[in-house]
């Protein structure tokens, strides 16, 4: 397990899409990870399944037996529309579409409560071309408010992720969203370390410092400036030791989970290499 400070490493189940969920959990635990970032999707704990409550209870028992912590991720590509990736979303033009996304996120919050998850992570989505900034905010804020209300009622932490190419694409955007919502305690931040290199104006360590105590979920991967492609560590320009050192200095105690959704063809070996790289980077940080 983790050897310095209180950092705990997890692995995203979206990188194990070719595995049964139970098998993925076994492999992740067997490699020595501390937890999982569980993307609720049709291959793994479908939030729309008729027996989702029973499935969730079974997954919680398995997580507890393996000693794995969990955060819930909601970035399934085709959960709501088999033709259009990540649609509809919280900034879609049609109110009915935004309501469908809110419904999915509320389901994820209920799953997170039943799993005992540390956070449920989500993002804004990409607005239709021609949407003004103020239109985007007018669509986004009520939907996020509804999800946060559900989370507050259930004692679940929401972690909002700035995603390159989406309406809220930087950490400053998340802070603006919190401001518009009155800075609710239940709405915090997901920070993808790779996105800091890809899309943020400051370094990985500076992003961690800016998020500070609002950090509730961290994703780990490598990236190159201006290119939103999740890479294995060492293939991009992320300063991994500096990023991990910043997380330790910030007192971050949540999961920091590897996110490599396009590496499922070699998931066990990629996960093994990733944990080796993280442990090495932690030792020299």
Q: Is the pLDDT of residue 272 over 70?
A: yes
DSSP-assigned states of every residue in the chain: ---STT-EEEEEGGGGTTS-HHHHHHHHHHHT-SEEEEE-BTTBS-TT-TTHHHHHHHHHHHHHHHT-EEEEE---TTSS-SSSTT-S-TT-SSHHHHHHHHHHHHHHHHHHHHHT-S-EEE---PPPTT--HHHHHHHHHHHHHHHHHHHHHHT--EEE---TTSSS-SHHHHHHHHHHTT--TTEEEEEEHHHHHHH-SS-HHHHHHHHGGGEEEEEE-EEETTEEEEE-TTSS---HHHHHHHHHHTT--SEEEE--TT-GGGHHHHHHHHHHHHHHHHHH-
Q: What is the pLDDT of residue 284?
A: 87
pTM above 0.75, yes or no: yes
Q: What is the pLDDT of residue 5?
A: 55
Q: Is the pLDDT of residue 66 over 90?
A: yes
264/93: higher pLDDT: 93
Instruction: Say what the alpha-carbon torsion angle 271, 276, 278, 280 is, to the nearest 10 degrees.
Output: -170
Q: What is the pLDDT of residue 2?
A: 47
Mean pLDDT, rounded, of the chain: 96
Find the distance separating the first CA and the last CA of the chain, reported in whole Å. 17
Q: Is the pLDDT of residue 274 over 90?
A: yes
Q: What is the pLDDT of residue 264?
A: 86
Span 46-56, average pLDDT: 97
% pLDDT > 70, the chain: 98
Interval 235-260: pLDDT, tens? 999 999 999 999 999 999 999 999 99
Q: What is the pLDDT of residue 174?
A: 98
Interval 164-219: pLDDT, tens? 999 999 999 999 999 999 999 999 999 999 999 999 999 999 999 999 999 999 99
Q: What is the pLDDT of residue 6?
A: 73
Find out whether 161 and 202 touch, Cβ atoms under 8 Å. no
Find out whether 26 and 50 touch, Cβ atoms under 8 Å. no
Inter-CA distances, 180 with 119, 134, 207, Å: 21, 12, 21
Contacts of 67 (CB under 8 A, 6+ apart): 29
% pLDDT > 90, the chain: 96
Span 272-280, average pLDDT: 97
């Amino acid at each position: 397990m983790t050897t310095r400070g209180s950092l705990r490493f997890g692995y995203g189940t979206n990188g194990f899409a070719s595995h049964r969920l139970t098998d993925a959990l076994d492999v992740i635990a067997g490699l020595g990870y501390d937890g999982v970032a569980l993307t609720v999707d049709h291959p793994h704990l479908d939030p729309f399944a008729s027996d989702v409550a029973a499935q969730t209870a079974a997954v919680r028992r398995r997580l507890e037996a393996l000693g794995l912590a969990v955060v819930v991720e909601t970035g399934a590509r085709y959960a709501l529309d088999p033709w259009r990736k990540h649609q509809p979303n919280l900034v879609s033009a049609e109110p009915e579409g935004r309501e469908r996304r809110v419904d999915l996120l509320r389901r994820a919050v209920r799953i997170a409560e039943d799993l005992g998850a540390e956070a449920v992570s989500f993002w804004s989505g990409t607005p239709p071309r021609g949407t003004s900034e103020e239109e985007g905010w007018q669509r986004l804020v009520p939907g996020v408010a509804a999800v946060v209300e559900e989370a507050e009622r259930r004692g679940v932490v929401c972690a909002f992720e700035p995603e390159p190419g989406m309406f809220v694409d930087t950490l400053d955007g998340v802070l603006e969203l919190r401001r518009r919502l009155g800075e609710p305690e239940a709405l915090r931040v997901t920070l993808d370390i790779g996105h800091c290199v890809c899309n943020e104006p400051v370094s990985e360590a500076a992003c961690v410092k800016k998020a500070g105590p609002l950090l509730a979920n961290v994703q780990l991967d490598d990236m190159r400036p201006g290119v939103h492609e999740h890479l294995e560590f060492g293939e991009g320009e992320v300063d991994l030791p500096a990023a991990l050192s910043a997380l330790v200095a910030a007192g971050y105690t949540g999961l920091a989970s590897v996110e490599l959704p396009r590496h499922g063809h070699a998931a066990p070996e990629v996960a093994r290499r990733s944990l080796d790289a993280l442990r090495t980077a932690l030792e020299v940080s």
